[in-house]
Amino acid sequence: MTDETQARPNRWKRFSDWDERPLRLDKFAAEDAASGFSAFKSPFDPKPGLSLGDGVVESMDGIAVRDFDMIDVFIARYHLDPEIAPEAMAMPSLEVARMLVDMNVPRKTLVRLAHGMTPAKLADVVSHLSSLEIAFAYSKMRARQTPGNQAHVTNAKDDPLQMAADAATAVALGFDEIETTMRVARNSWSNAVACAVGAAVGRWGALFQCSSEEAEELKIGMAGFTSYAETVSVYGTEKSFIDGDDTPWSKAFLAAAYASRGIKMRCTSGAGSELLMGFHDRKSLLYLEARCLCLQRAMGVQGTQNGGIDGAPVTCTVPGGMRELMAENLIAVWLDLECASGNDARATESEIRVGAKILPYLIAGSDLICSGFGSILKYDNSFNASLLNGEELEDYLVLQRDFEADGGLTPVGETRVMELRSRAVDAISAVLEELRLAKPTADMKLSVVAASGSDETRTFSGRDVALISEAIYDRSITVIDVIKALAARGFTEEAENLLKLVRLRVSGDYLQTSAVVRDGRIVSAVNNPNDYQGPGTGYRLTEERRDEIVAIRDVLTRQEVLRVEAAFRPGEVNRVAYRPTGPAAATHNPKEVVIGISPAFGLKLFQTVAGHPLSAILRVLIGGITEGGCTARVVRMRHTADTSFLGLSAARLAGSGIGIGIQAKGTAVIHQKDRLPHNNLELFSNSPITKVEHYKRMGLNAAAYALGEMPEPVIVPTRGEAMGSRYHARVSLIYAIETEMTSEGAEPEEIDVMFLGAAA
Amino acid sequence: MTGKPLTVADYPLAENRPDVVETKAGKKLDDITLDGVLSDRVSLEDLRITDRALRQQAEISTAAGRPTLAANFERGAELVDVPQDVIMRIYELLRPGRASSKDELLAAARELRETYGAEGVAAFIEEAADVYERRSLYKKRF
C-alpha cells in the first residue's frame, strides 16, 4: 500500500459519533409485509366490504361467513350494527376521514358510524390521516372530556413498605390509577395490600389494580383490594388468541365476571403482539389492531389499554410505527372505548424519540395518557421500563407547563412528599403489625421514606415478603380486616379513604366508560362526555388547574435574583470602591483605553453570571491594559446598558480610540471608535463560561489594539451548552435592573476605582 | 326493575339517585360507614355489587348509546350470585382446548341456566360451543 491510500480516511467520523448515541441502541426493521412488518398497509390486508342478507352478515372484509374465524364471528355478531352498517360502509373512506378532523361534525355522529364499520373499513379511514390529523381527531373523539393518567408502582424487592410510600407519592402526583405487579408471583397479595393502603394516604379515589394471573387477579379483587383490571388481552388473529390461551368467548365471560364482582375492567391489545407471537397472517399492524378493537367493543368492555403496549417497541422499529400507534388509539376512541393509550413499554433508548412519542398525547389529552407511567425508577419497574419513568417525571411536569396541557399530573413539593411517604410507611407498618404479618423496624421505615429506589432501602428480604403474602392469602385477610387494622392504629383517614374506594362497587357507577374519581366524585364519559366542537369547547384548563400545572419547583423570580445579588454586596463593598468624579470627557492620550462599565455595575449588581466578583474582573481588565503598555480609565455609562454601545462610547472617549464595554453580568466587548455599533473587535457573549483569565487577556488585547497591533483574538470556548435555557431567565431579570437605571442623554461619569484589601 | 329506565341524568347513581342504590342486605350507601365496619354491621358482603345495580348501570349504558357495554352488565348481573369457584371453573373450560367435547360446554351452560338462572350467559356459552366445534378447538392441546 502506498502512503496515499493509507492516509485516505474511509469514514466520516460523524458516523462514529452517531454510533455512540443512545438512538443507535434502537434497532430498526425493514418494511416487509410478508413478515408482518408493515404498519398501515399490507398487500395481504382485505379490502373493506360487507354484505348483509336480511340484516345478517354474509361476508365481511372479503371473507364469507362459512370461512369466518372466531374473531370474525364475534365481531359480525356483536360489534356490527346492521341498522347502521349499509350507510357507514357505503361512505367513501376519505370523506369519513375528513369528518374525523372536522370540528363541526359531532363526536356522536362519528361514533354511530363506527358501529357500522368493519375492521378493514376503520383501518382504511384512519390511514388517510397524517399524524397531526390523527392527534387532532383523537382529541376530538376521546370519550371523557377531562384527561387523566395512570402510574406503575412496583419495586425490585416487592417491598410492601416502599410499595405503600410510592403509591402515596403517585396519588399525590395526581395519577387516577395505579397498577402494580410483582417480581415473584406469590407476592401478589402483599403488593395488593401495600398499594391499597398507600393509595389511601392523602386523598381517596385513585383506582388500583394488581396485575397477576387471571384467576388470582380476580381473587384479589374479590377480597376488596383492587378496583380495576386491565390485563385481559385480546389478539387480532385466531392463532395468536389461542396461543394466548383464550378465545373471544372466554375473555368476554371474564369481562362479565369482573362486572359481576363490581370491578372496573378494560381489555388490552396493541400492535405488534401478533408479530411477537408469530401469528400475524401477513396483515398490517393497523388492520389486526382494528380487529382487536372491534372485538373489544363487541365483548362489551368499557375500555381498552391500547397503543402497542408490549408490542410498542417492535411497532416502533417499522416505518410509520409511531403514527400507527396513534391511529389504533384513534380507532379505540372512535369506537367509543375508554383508552388507556399505551405510552408505557419504553419503545426507544432515544430521549428525543421518547419526547416526540408523548407529545401528541399530552396536547390531545387521553383518558389515561400512559398505561402506565413509571412513577418509580426504571430498575424498580416490574413491568420493565416505561416510556417515562421516575427519572423523567419532572421533564413531563415541565412539558405540561410548556404546552399548558393537562397531562394528568400535578407537581408536589418536597415537604409534602416526605409527609406522605412517612405517613404511608407508618400506615402499612401499622397494618402489618396489627394483622401480625410482620414487624418493620425503625431503620427499615426510615430507609424507605427517603429512598428514590429500592437500591437504597434496608427492608424486608424476599423470603419475608413471600411469607407476608402467603399469610394474607392463607388467612383470607380482606380489605375489611385492613380497614379495621388502620382504624385500630389511629389511621382513621386512611381507613375512611379505603372504605370509600371499595364502596364504589355498591352502585357500580365507576364501571361506566372512562370512569375515574376526581375530588371524591365519579367522572366518566357519561357525565363528562367530550363535547369538542372547536376552540372554546372541549377540555380547557381552568385557571385553578393551570396554577397547579405551572407550579413546578425552583422557579426564578425577580425577588430571588435581587436577594442573591444583595447577599453578594457586603463582600464587594470590602473589595472595591467606585467614586464618581464628574462627567467624563474625551482625551488625547494615544495609550489610553477606556473601560465603560454599565449603570448597575457595582452599585446594584456585584457578580457576573459566572459568579466572578465584579471587582476581580475590573482588576484584571485594568491589569491587562497596564501590562500591555497602556493606561486604563474607568467610565460609568448611564445612557445605555447595551454591551456594544458601552464599548463604542468608551472607545469614543479613549485617546487611543479603543474601549472596552462591560455589563455587570459579564458580557464584554472591545470596540474601536470608528466602527459600527455591532461590528466590534472582540466580544465575550457567553458570560456564564467566561473565566477571569479571559478578561485579563481582553485587557491585554485592548492595549495591543491601542498600540496598533493585531493580537490573536481571545476565544471563550463553548461546548455547546444551552446557555439560553440555563441563564436567560436570570440574565433577563438582571439586565432589567441595568436598563431601569439608564436615562436618555445621561452623561458618562468618570469613576475613580479603588481596590481595597486583597483580591477576591 | 320497576318504573322508567334510568337515564344519563340519573348518573352517577351514588350522587344523583342514592334512593335506588342498596346492598344485597338492603343497606343504603349512607349505612356503609367506618363505624359500621368497626362494629361489624358492615361486612365484605355489603361491599359487593348487586344484580340490580348492574342492571341499573346497563340502563344507563343503553341510554348513553353503549348497547354492548349494557349487554356485558346484563351478563354480569346474571353472574353476581354464581360462586367464585364455579366462575373460575367455567372460565377455564372456555379456554381453548380445555373442553374435550362440545358436551362439556353445553353442560356448563345448563348448570348456569338451571342453577343460577343465568339465561343470557348460558346462551352465550352455547354459542361458543358451536363456534369451538367449527374451529376445532376441542382438540387436545399440549
CATH assignment, A150-226+341-549: 3.20.20.350
CB A169 within 8 A of CB A178: no
Residues of B in contact with A213 (CB under 8 A): none
CA A234 to centroid of chain Cα atoms:
28
DSSP annotation of B25: T
How far does the CA of residue B2 sit from the closest CA of chain A (Å)? 17
Collect all residues with Cβ–Cβ distance below 8 Å to A152 and sequence separation of at least 6.
A178, A179, A180, A344, A372, A373, A374, A375, A376, A381, A382, A383, A386
Q: Using a CB-CB distance cutoff of 8 angstroms, which residues of chain B are in contact with residue A296?
A: none
The reply to whether residue A257 touches residue B91, judged by beta carbons under 8 angstroms, is: yes
Band of the pLDDT at B141, cuts 50, 70, 90? low
Phi-psi region of B23 (alpha: psi -120 to 50; beta: other; left: phi over 0): beta
Question: What mean pLDDT comes out for the span A677-701?
Answer: 96
Chain B stretch 62-121, residues whose beta carbon is closer than 8 A to a beta carbon of chain A: 64-66, 68-73, 75-80, 82, 84, 87-88, 90-92, 94-97, 121
DSSP state of A748: P
Q: Residues of B with CB below 8 A from A241's CB?
A: 96
List the 456-485 stretch of A: residues with Cβ below 8 A of B: 478-480, 483-484
A223, A479, A509 ranked by CB distance to B12: nearest: A509
Sign of the Cα torsion A59, A60, A62, A66 reads negative
- pLDDT for residue B139 is more than 80: no
Kindly tell me the burial class for residue A184, based on how many C-beta atoms sit within 10 Å of its own C-beta (0-12, 13-18, 19 or more).
Answer: middle
Separation CA A101–CA A138 (nearest Å): 9
pLDDT tens digits, one per residue of A604-659: 999 999 999 999 999 999 999 999 999 999 999 999 999 999 999 999 999 999 99
The complex's ipTM? Answer: 0.97
Give how far the C-alpha of residue A46 lies from the chain's centroid of Cα atoms, to the nearest Å: 38
Which pLDDT value is given to residue A439? 97
- Is A509 close to B11, i.e. CB distance below 8 A? yes
Closest-CA residue in chain B for A509? B12
Taking CB atoms and an 8 Å limit, are B71 and A300 in contact across chains? yes
Closest partner CB to B47 (pick from A245, A255, A503): A503
Would you call A511 exposed, middle or buried from its count of C-beta atoms within 10 A (0-12, 13-18, 19+)?
A: buried
Q: How far is B73 from chain A (nearest CA, A)?
A: 6
Q: What is the pLDDT of residue A91?
A: 98
pLDDT band of A562, cuts 50, 70, 90: confident
- B-contacting residues in A 58-117 (Cβ below 8 Å): 69-70, 73, 77-79, 108, 111-112
∠ CA A241-A244-A248, rounded to 5°: 40
Q: Is the pLDDT of residue B72 over 90?
A: yes
Count CB atoms within 10 A of the CB of residue A352. Answer: 11
Give the CB-side neighbour count of residue A89, counting CA atoms within 13 A. Answer: 22
For A375-406, the pLDDT digits (tens) are 999 999 999 999 999 999 999 999 999 999 99
Closest CA–CA distance from residue B31 to any residue of chain A (Å): 11
**Residue B34: closest CA among chain A residues belongs to which residue?**
A496
Is the pLDDT assigned to residue A759 strictly greater than 60?
A: no
Return the H-helix or E-strand segment holding A228: strand A228-233
Judged by phi (left if over 0) then psi (alpha if -120 to 50, else beta), residue A568 lies in: alpha
Q: What mean pLDDT is predicted for residues A506-527? A: 97
Q: What is the mean pLDDT of residues B78-88?
A: 95
Residues in a beta bridge with B28: B22
Q: Which of A183, A516, A142 is nearest to A332 (CA)?
A: A142
Q: Answer whether A112 sits within 8 Å of B65, measured CB to CB.
A: yes
pLDDT at A1 over 90: no
CA-based nearest residue to A77, from A251, A255, A246, A297: A297
Supply the mean pLDDT for chain A. 96
Here the cell at position A725 is 435555557
The domains located in chain B, with CATH, are 1-80 (no CATH), 82-142 (1.10.1510.20)
Q: Is A527 on the interface with B (CB under 8 A)?
A: yes
pLDDT value of position B4? 87
Q: Which residues of B touch A223 (CB under 8 A)?
A: 44
The confidence score (pLDDT) of residue B1 equals 47
Tell me whether residues B57 and A257 touch, CB distance under 8 A.
no
Interface contact B132-A478, CB threshold 8 A: no
CB A545 within 8 A of CB A406: yes
Closest Cβ–Cβ partner in A224, A505, A513 for B66 = A513
**Measured in Å, how far apart are chain A's first and last C-alpha atoms?**
61
CA–CA gap between residue A526 and residue B14 (Å, rounded): 14
Report how far residue A190's alpha carbon sits from residue A164's, in angstroms, rounded to the nearest whole number. Answer: 11
| Kind and range of the H or E run holding B121 | helix B119-134
Q: What's residue A758's pLDDT? A: 61
CA dihedral A635, A638, A643, A645 (to 10 degrees): -90
> In chain A, where are the structural domains located?
24-141+233-252+267-302, 150-226+341-549, 558-755
Q: Which residue of A has its CA nearest to B10?
A: A527
pLDDT digits (tens, 9 = 90+) for A28-81: 999 999 999 999 999 999 999 999 999 999 999 999 999 999 999 999 999 999
Per-position b or e across A528-561, b if 16+ CB within 10 A of its CB: bbbebeeeeebbeeeeeeeeebbeeeeeeeeeeb
Question: Shortest CA distance to A707 belongs to which of A596, A629, A634?
Answer: A629
Alpha helices by DSSP H, listed for A199-284, are 214-222, 238-243, 248-260, 273-277
Contacts of B99 in chain A (CB under 8 A): none
* A:B CB pairs within 8 Å: 204
What are the φ and ψ backbone dihedral angles of A340, each rounded to 5 degrees? -90, 100
pLDDT tier for residue A231 given thresholds of 50, 70 and 90? confident
Which class would CATH give A558-755?
Answer: alpha beta
Give how far Cα A233 sits from Cα of A37, A265, A287, A288, A664, Å.
21, 11, 17, 14, 63
Query: Strand, coil or helix: what is A288?
Result: helix
Evaluate whether A732 touches A561 at the Cβ level (below 8 Å): no
For residues A513 and A337, is the Cβ–Cβ distance under 8 A? yes
List, in order, residues 6 or more apart from B52 with CB less than 8 Å away. B1, B22, B77
Nearest chain B residue to A238 by CA distance is B135
Q: How far is C-alpha A336 from the chain's CA centre?
A: 26
* Nearest CA-CA partner of A161 in A187, A186, A197, A189: A197
Nearest chain A residue to B53 by CA: give it. Answer: A507
CB within 8 Å of A564: residues ≥ 6 apart: none
Residues in A closer than 8 angstroms to B57, CB to CB, are 508-509, 511-512
Of B52, B53, B47, B132, nearest in space to A511 by CA: B53
pLDDT band at A214 (very low <50, low <70, confident <90, very high): confident
How many angstroms separate the CA atoms of A52 and A58, rounded? 5
Nearest chain B Cα distance for residue A533, angstroms: 19
The number of angstroms, rounded, from the C-alpha of A194 to the middle of its chain's C-alpha atoms is 26
Question: What is the C-alpha to C-alpha distance for residues A651 and A646, in angstroms, rounded to an integer?
Answer: 9
CB contact under 8 A, A496 and B34: yes
Which residues in chain A (281-320) have CB-CB distances under 8 A to chain B? 297-302
Q: What is the pLDDT of residue A422?
A: 98
Per-residue cell: A630: 497602556
Output A181-184 pairs: Cβ under 8 A, ≥24 positions apart: A181/A154, A181/A210, A181/A211, A181/A212, A181/A382, A181/A383, A182/A154, A182/A158, A182/A212, A182/A382, A183/A156, A183/A157, A183/A158, A183/A382, A184/A158, A184/A462, A184/A465, A184/A466
CA angle A274, A276, A281 (to 5 degrees): 40
CB A164 within 8 A of CB A422: no
Residues of B with Cβ-Cβ distance to A480 under 8 angstroms: 37, 42-44, 47
The per-residue DSSP string of A33-89 comes to GGGTB-SS--TTSPPP-EEEETTEEEEETTEEGGG--HHHHHIIIII--TTTHHHHH
* Å between A737 CA and nearest CA of chain B: 56
Contact B57 A487 (CB under 8 A): no
Q: What is the DSSP letter of A433?
A: H
Which chain A residues are Cβ-neighbours of B76 within 8 angstroms? 256-260
Q: Residue A5: what pLDDT?
A: 62
User: Is A486 near chain B, with CB under 8 Å?
Assistant: no
Strand intervals (E) in A325-395: 338-340, 373-374
Q: Cell numbers at residue A71, please? A: 374473531
Q: Could you say which residues from 211 to 230 on chain A have a Cβ atom under 8 Å away from some Cβ of chain B?
A: 214-215, 218-219, 222-224
Cross-chain residue pair B54–A495, CB shorter than 8 Å: no
Determine the Cα–Cα distance for residues A211 and A549; give it in Å rounded to an integer.
30
Percent of chain A at pLDDT > 70 equals 99
Contact at CB, B34 and A215, closer than 8 angstroms: no
Inform me whether the C-beta atom of residue B61 falls under 8 Å from chain A C-beta atoms: yes
Residues of A tagged active-site = 150, 152, 179, 230, 305, 344, 371
The Cα of A496 is separated from the nearest Cα of chain B by a number of Å equal to 6
> Could you read off the pLDDT of B10-51 as tens digits, one per residue?
999 999 999 999 999 999 999 999 999 999 999 999 999 999
Which residues of A are less than 8 Å from B87 in CB distance? Answer: 218, 257, 260
- Count of other CB atoms within 10 angstroms of residue A745: 6
> Which residues of A, range 333-392, sit inside 8 Å of B by Cβ?
336
- Report how far residue A714's alpha carbon sits from residue A701's, in angstroms, rounded to the nearest whole number: 8
Contact between A170 and A178 under an 8 Å Cβ cutoff? The reply is yes
Which residues in A lie closer than 8 A to residue B126 (C-beta atoms)? none
Residues 6+ apart with CB under 8 A from A349: A22, A23, A25, A26
Residue A3 — very low, low, confident or very high, per pLDDT cuts 50/70/90? low
Q: Which residues from A are below 8 Å from B97, CB to CB?
A: 242
A218-222, A315-319, A713-717: which has the minimum mean pLDDT? A218-222
Nearest chain B residue to A527, by CA: B11
The DSSP element (H or E) to which A3 belongs, if any, is helix A3-7
Categorize the per-residue pLDDT at A512 as very low, low, confident or very high, splitting at 50, 70 and 90: very high
